[in-house]
Structure 1
């Protein structure tokens, strides 16, 4: 049985851990723009603010400071199956048991050649929307497929960027694909 004290400590850790969403209402640090599709692009010098009360999906351009205690290195391969453009490989890391989204944020902050956006659904969490300016589209029937290449196999992830926990030396494949 969880005591109120345990729950309070758990909540405090969620708020203080790197990569956890932080609420910042300061107008100097956040900017948001409405897009023609009704989504909101937000850029922030701190962790992005995400309202749990919202029923809409927000578009987030993640901008956070690099995490100093990364201990799990992995790589991200950006692939385009639609145009067969050259692949690009990047190196990043996460804290112990950190999520893929945290490693992608760290990479974006430390490598100006890597950019991504995602939508935040209040029920399903973050959904990868674009990588390096290339956005999935229902009109064009395209999306970003998430795969992980382990030592002996490549598997399709059954969770998103907000739930997958990379292992050391994994190769995450972000594959732009048609459906």
Structure 2
């Protein structure tokens, strides 16, 4: 018995979607990050960077710090889960076109290209998040909204040098203009 590659891929994606949906249901909804982003404008002489945290800790006792650490971890996991869920819904819509026998060849080709593009973006974001973690950050989330890219890192603060390094990583791996990259920390 020969199994079509698309069928195997569809079943795999649906399984991933079910697992992610179950996790989302268990953890509850996650608030999106505030639009506190910063800009990096490169000039001939220097880089002008404004650095602002997404949320600042109010208290410094040990129990509060542990709670903030857990909240930060949940924030990044939730944000990544929210991004994955949204992508899975988009892939599911395109898969419906692929599995519809009434779809034209043009629609099939377009849906296939969109799915491949989403997979490529998802892979690039995952690789970039891992590279950012290797830079010494506890966690990171990268969200691509063509042509803009948002990067949120888990850190107590960011220096201008760190922001420039993060923008450089995004530019190198996603071929994005530095003016279209926002970096924030939480």
TM-score w.r.t. structure 2 length?
0.30
Question: Which fold has the larger relative contact order, with Cα–Cα distance below 8 Å and residues 6 or more apart in sequence?
Answer: 2
Q: When you count helix as a share of all residues, which structure comes out higher? A: 2
Q: When you count strand as a share of all residues, which structure comes out higher? A: 1
TM-score w.r.t. structure 1 length?
0.31
Find the structure with the greater CA-based Rg: 2
